[in-house]
Homo-oligomer: A and B are copies of this chain.
Amino acid sequence: MKVRDVAEAAGCSIGSVYNEFGDFDGLILTVNRETVQALTERLKAVPADDPLRQLHGLADAYLGFATEHANLLRSLFEHRMEDDRPFPEDILAMVMDAFALMHAPLVRLLPDRDPGDVAVLSRMMFSAVHGIISLGLEERMVAVPPEQLRERLAQFVDTHLAGLGVTRSA
């Protein structure tokens, strides 16, 4: 993304882009905010009736979003602020909220576990899913073949849940 391209696409001058977004970081962060919102919206649309199905749905929804908007997700996770400025708190909070969406179904599946523990478990599980997807979707690094990704991801979730003591029939 280039400031000049944005200006041309918006039909205004370069200066107006700066009036609107402040600087390049501001431009990127505006895009990233929309990305998190769109992602969250998509994740929240996953049915919450059955917790196990919900977990699979969340992983699958994340995979779908990552497939369709690979570059947006990269911008969200890989962008570094200029001049070591701190990353905006609101975006951090939104991302953490999105990653915490696995918490509710996990609590239902693991009612006896310490809630604080489940909170970490859910974010860790989402981080793992994120890692599998982000590396799996890289054209270059085929850690997991893309055509298998959907199936393998479901397998991963099942395996991990089994390790946590969740029986498949629950």
Chain A residues with a Cβ under 8 A of chain B:
74, 77-78, 87, 92, 95-96, 99, 120, 123-124, 126-132, 134-136, 140-145, 148, 152, 156, 158-164
Contacts and interface: CB of A to CB of B under 8 A. Distances in A.
Contacts of A145: 120
Contact of A152 (B77, B124, B134): B124
A9 to B, nearest CB: 21
A123 B143 contact: yes
21 contacts: A77-B135, A92-B140, A96-B141, A96-B143, A120-B148, A124-B132, A124-B143, A124-B144, A127-B132, A127-B143, A128-B129, A129-B131, A131-B131, A131-B132, A131-B134, A158-B163, A159-B163, A160-B160, A161-B163, A162-B162, A162-B163
A128 B132 contact: yes
Contact of A124 (B78, B123, B156): B156
Q: Of A92, A124, A130, A148, which is in contact with the most chain B CB atoms at under 10 Å from its CB?
A: A124
Contacts of A123: 143-144
Contacts of A129: 128, 131
